A and B are shown apart, each in its own frame.
Chain A
Amino acid sequence: QQPVQSPQAVILREGEDAVINCSSSKALYSVHWYRQKHGEAPVFLMILLKGGEQKGHEKISASFNEKKQQSSLYLTASQLSYSGTYFCGTEIGNNDMRFGAGTRLTVKP
């Protein structure tokens, strides 16, 4: 029931771009994105509520294709501070937020 994320891990050099994908077999009404740094709690990045909507947060943006039941997170010109594990979350029912398995992003100098 949880969404499926890909890839599992990404290694980048500073300044490079990355895309993280999230898909679901169930109809999606919204998609959340969170980032968790090592030893810390997940932190909210953004929520996408409408099909085809794109939102941005600094140099991190996301798209949501409701029809395809997919969302993608775009990280452009990555910085060292972007390192961490990224989770997408989808609500499959009332008060029932499920997360993907996470994508571990490592940005190297």
Chain B
Amino acid sequence: DTAVSQTPKYLVTQMGNDKSIKCEQNLGHDTMYWYKQDSKKFLKIMFSYNNKELIINETVPNRFSPKSPDKAHLNLHINSLELGDSAVYFCASSRRSGGELFFGEGSRLTVL
């Protein structure tokens, strides 16, 4: 059983399109995150949620909209995709703030 699962694993799309990435964790954790990892491997926090409530929104363009329908799921919708959005997006969860992070396998987004 995968603890944190993301779908899809790969996304190739054209500029201007809209896409979504889904994340689910079966660990019973309260906190979930989205991180963006660029080509230089830098892991940048985008959003964090605690029990479905948005806690951190780190200067991400409003083309990115997270949604947490329940505490086990955190989805990411991206409108009007741009070339600079190409990256690997990681979902992660932790039992509590400051606890060990469990990462999903990542979703590699390529915008052409």
Contacts and interface: CB of A to CB of B under 8 A. Distances in A.
A32 B101 contact: yes
Interface stretch (A18-26, A61-69, A70-78, A97-105): A97-105
Interface stretch (B12-20, B48-56, B62-70, B77-85): B48-56
A85 B39 CA distance: 13
B55 A101 contact: no
B103 A30 contact: no
Contacts, number: 61
Contacts of B100: 32, 44, 47
A44 B101 contact: yes
Interface in B89-112: 90, 94, 97-106
Interface of B is mostly: strand
B27 interface: no
Contacts of A81: none
Contact of B101 (A93, A97, A104): A97
Given A95-B31, A95-B50, A89 B42 contact: no
A107 B66 CA distance: 39
B107 to A, nearest CB: 11
A48 B94 CA distance: 16
Contacts of A40: 105
Contact of A41 (B49, B50, B94, B103): B103
Interface of B: 31, 33, 35, 40-43, 45, 48-50, 55-56, 90, 94, 97-106
Interface of A: 29-30, 32, 34, 36, 40-44, 47, 85, 87, 89, 91, 93-99, 101-102, 104
